[in-house]
Amino acid sequence: MPAWIPGSYLIQDFSKHIESIEAFSADSTRKKVPRERIDNDHWRLPPVNGPIEVLSTVYTFDSSVRAAYLDTERAFFNASSLCLAVKGQEHLPCSLAIAEPKVAFADHWMIQTTLRAVKTDDRGFGFYLAQNYDDLLDHPVAMGELQMVHWKSNGVAHRMAIQGCNHIVYAKRRADDLEAICTSTINLFEPKSKRAPFGEYLFLVNAVLNGYGGLEHRNSTALLCRRD
């Protein structure tokens, strides 16, 4: 389990949120495989023939931009808080399946992330693919009833997904302001080409009673702001 997350300059202790972890043979026998915890965030399994399935239960009630959160109103997570790495295989592609919650309060939930969608429905539930483990950790995911703002800066699609706002967001004004800010930023850092170093950009905003923060990623940013 990582003790770090891209864009943050602090050592994290994500493994403390793992409440249980078990391993099984991924065949019809479902034989339990013993595990050994060798330090705070590493587990070791004995040599086995065939694939292994690791099941973990994780505490997700951290409303910061660095960890994972889930209640009946919203969900948000960084893969560094949920997804273990296989030592020596971090360079291999990773697939991520996000299943639709089978509960009434999630009937209108949607997903917003810049992780590459492979097979998803119109609300974003389904399969995603990362180039490797580092890539998986660089794309936060937000779920819930989201208010969306869309615009283009220098021809690149940008969007903002807002959670937790008590009123309807005036999307046109937000889009106009954000288009000007993002265009100016691209032009400042790329004065010759005026070309953004990404194909899309996503702002994930969680409006809360009292809070402030942000964490930048490859082509997205997770933000906390006060509702007022």
> pTM of the prediction?
0.95
CA angle 15, 17, 19 (to 5 degrees): 105
Predicted confidence (pLDDT) per residue in 26-45, tens digit:
999 999 999 999 999 999 99
pLDDT of residue 214: 96
Of 74, 96, 92, 71, which Cα lies nearest the Cα of 83?
96
Q: Which helix (H) or strand (E) holds 151?
A: strand 147-153
Kindly state the percentage of the chain with pLDDT values over 90: 95
The alpha-helical segments, DSSP class H, found in 33-143 are 133-136
Q: Tell me how far apart the alpha carbons of residues 152 and 138 are, in angstroms, rounded to a whole number.
A: 22
Predicted confidence (pLDDT) per residue in 152-188, tens digit:
999 999 999 999 988 899 999 999 999 999 999 999 9
pLDDT of residue 166: 84
Helices (H) and strands (E) in the chain, counts: 2, 17
Of 8, 130, 125, which Cα lies nearest the Cα of 67?
8
The domains of the chain, with CATH numbers, are: 1-145 (2.60.40.3650), 146-228 (3.30.2010)
pLDDT of residue 203: 98
Q: What is the mean pLDDT of the chain?
A: 96
Q: Tell me how far apart the alpha carbons of residues 112 and 98 are, in angstroms, rounded to a whole number.
A: 12
Predicted confidence (pLDDT) per residue in 61-97, tens digit:
999 999 999 999 999 999 999 999 999 999 999 999 9
Each residue of 117-146: b (16+ CB within 10 Å) or e? eeeeeeebbbebebeebebbbbbbbbbbeb
Each residue of 46-64: b (16+ CB within 10 Å) or e? eeeeeeeeeebebebebbb
Token pair in block for residue 147: 């208010």
User: How sure is the predictor about 228, in pLDDT bands with cuts at 50, 70 and 90?
Assistant: confident
- Return left, alpha or beta for 144; rule: phi > 0 is left, psi -120 to 50 is alpha, else beta: left
